[in-house]
A and B are shown apart, each in its own frame.
Chain A
Amino acid sequence: MEETNEKTVAELIELENKLVTEKKEIQDKIDQILEI
């Protein structure tokens, strides 16, 4: 959170988008393994 505190809103939105993409990739992987 300390790192987050130092970032601007624009940087945080960029980071959020990056994490959302990463999350989607993992979710797809789980779905593929479990055939969801």
Chain B
Amino acid sequence: MDTNEEVQDVKIEINELYSSLVNLDKEIINIREYIFKKEFDEIIKERIENLESFLQIQGKSYIQNDEVNLIIKGYKEALNKIFESYLQIRMKFVKNRDEWKKFEYEQLELLILKKKEKKELKKSEEYLTFREEVSKLRKELYRVTVEENMEEVKNKTEELDKLLENDEFEICEKIMANCKKNIKETRNNIRERDLQIKNLKGALQEDIDRVLDNKDKALTEVKNVSFIKKLLSIFTNKRSGAKKFNEDILNPLKSKLEKVEGEIISEIQDKNKNDEETIIQVSIQKLEQLMQV
């Protein structure tokens, strides 16, 4: 098997392996996205159902359906807006990750090409002649150094340096070393992005909790009175039940919803936008720098 066939075989093998790698990576990304969506769809659905059943228990005979429905609808829309903001930033991170992945593949291709060139060079007539010239010049440099002919030492050194500048083998080695460095750097960036994608889960969970925690906390947060206490107070005072339901439950929930719609959602959207701009911008700059070398 000659060098060409050998290198061709490696290229085919690498291409096959890389194609499997890319497919697996895509599958993993899709699964992670699906898990993210499914988990949070379920969490949001559960929170809304909890709120709904909580209001139904609390309101029982005097429930004001239109108002209650509006509150539920408002919270649902708010949570979906927050979820959407996270889906957007997640999508941007995945896109940026894909750009790094593409660069990694380009570097792998270049590495294979240079590996092939290096092997071919070793056997080429042209390169053998070049090595002979270098060897000859080194001997001459040694001779003039021993003779202490400083002017010739300077001349021969310059000549040798100039010749070595065109050493194709060395050039190949340098490019290969750079490719390997870039591949490692690329993988670090992909790992970093993967971690940021993973961390979005915790951040989204926290933001959902800020808007609507479980039914007990939702109200204790609003009025600092426990769920059981509220329940008891409503059932033990049926005459003023409807009024209490409005004062203790609906009004605080409405106020909180106003705060969510007026402040919290835009705060979360801004935070995500800011993270997206900072992280993606830095990442793109890094990638562009590597591409230029």
Contacts and interface: CB of A to CB of B under 8 A. Distances in A.
| Most A C-beta atoms less than 10 A away, residue of B13, B25, B35, B39 | B35
Contacts of A27: 21
Interface of A: 1, 4-5, 9, 12-13, 15-16, 19-20, 22-23, 26-27, 29-30, 33-36
A16 B184 contact: no
Contacts of B20: 26
Nearest to A10: B35
Given A12-B31, A13-B35, A33-B13, 19 more contacts: A4-B30, A9-B39, A16-B28, A16-B31, A16-B32, A19-B31, A20-B28, A23-B25, A23-B28, A26-B17, A26-B20, A27-B21, A29-B17, A30-B21, A34-B14, A34-B108, A34-B111, A34-B115, A36-B180
A16 to B, nearest CB: 5
B31 A36 contact: no
B183 A36 contact: yes
Contacts of A26: 17, 20-21, 24
B91 interface: no
Interface in B1-55: 10, 13-14, 17-18, 20-21, 24-25, 27-28, 30-32, 34-35, 38-39
A10 to B, nearest CB: 10
Contact of A1 (B18, B30, B180): B30
B265 interface: no
B15 to A, nearest CB: 10
Interface of B: 10, 13-14, 17-18, 20-21, 24-25, 27-28, 30-32, 34-35, 38-39, 108, 111-112, 115, 180, 183-184
Contact of A23 (B10, B24, B183): B24
Classify the interface of chain B: helix, strand, loop or mixed.
Answer: helix
Classify the interface of chain A: helix, strand, loop or mixed.
Answer: helix
Contact of B28 (A5, A19, A33): A19
A22 B38 contact: no
Contacts of A13: 35
A15 to B, nearest CB: 6
A12 B38 CA distance: 11
24 contacts: A1-B30, A1-B34, A4-B34, A9-B35, A9-B38, A12-B31, A15-B31, A16-B28, A16-B31, A20-B28, A22-B24, A23-B24, A23-B25, A26-B20, A26-B24, A29-B17, A30-B17, A30-B18, A30-B21, A33-B10, A33-B13, A34-B111, A34-B115, A34-B180
Nearest to A16: B31
Contacts of A30: 14, 17-18, 21, 108
A32 B180 CA distance: 12
Contacts of A22: 24
Contacts of B21: 23, 26-27, 30
A31 B115 CA distance: 14
Contacts of B13: 33
Contacts of B112: 34
Nearest to A1: B30
